[in-house]
Homo-oligomer: A and B are copies of this chain.
Amino acid sequence: MPKPEILDPQGKAVAAALSRLGFDQFANARQGKRFELEVEGEVTDEVLAAARAAGEQVLSNPVIEDVVAVYADETAVTA
């Protein structure tokens, strides 16, 4: 997600659109990226650490973005 001190014009546009369309529950909005990384086998702590490292080193621009959430979604497991 964009760092708190970074202006987020996409998020501003989203917040304005939401309130215009009647979604007035939301005071503000920010837009960022979401990645799903598929793992074969078990999601161990090492894999999660690698996912966080990948997020920080490859998937985000650390000058303007923070990695805010790295978690395993076991429900996505398929046979």
Contacts and interface: CB of A to CB of B under 8 A. Distances in A.
Interface of A: 1, 11, 14, 17-18, 21, 23, 25-40, 46-47, 50-51, 53-54, 57-59, 69, 73
Contact of A27 (B21, B34, B38): B38
A39 B23 CA distance: 11
Contacts of A40: 27
Task: Count this chain's copies in the assembly.
Answer: 2
Contacts of A50: 23, 25-26
A69 B27 CA distance: 20
Among A26, A33, A46: residue with most chain B CB under 10 A = A26
Contacts of A23: 50, 53-54, 58
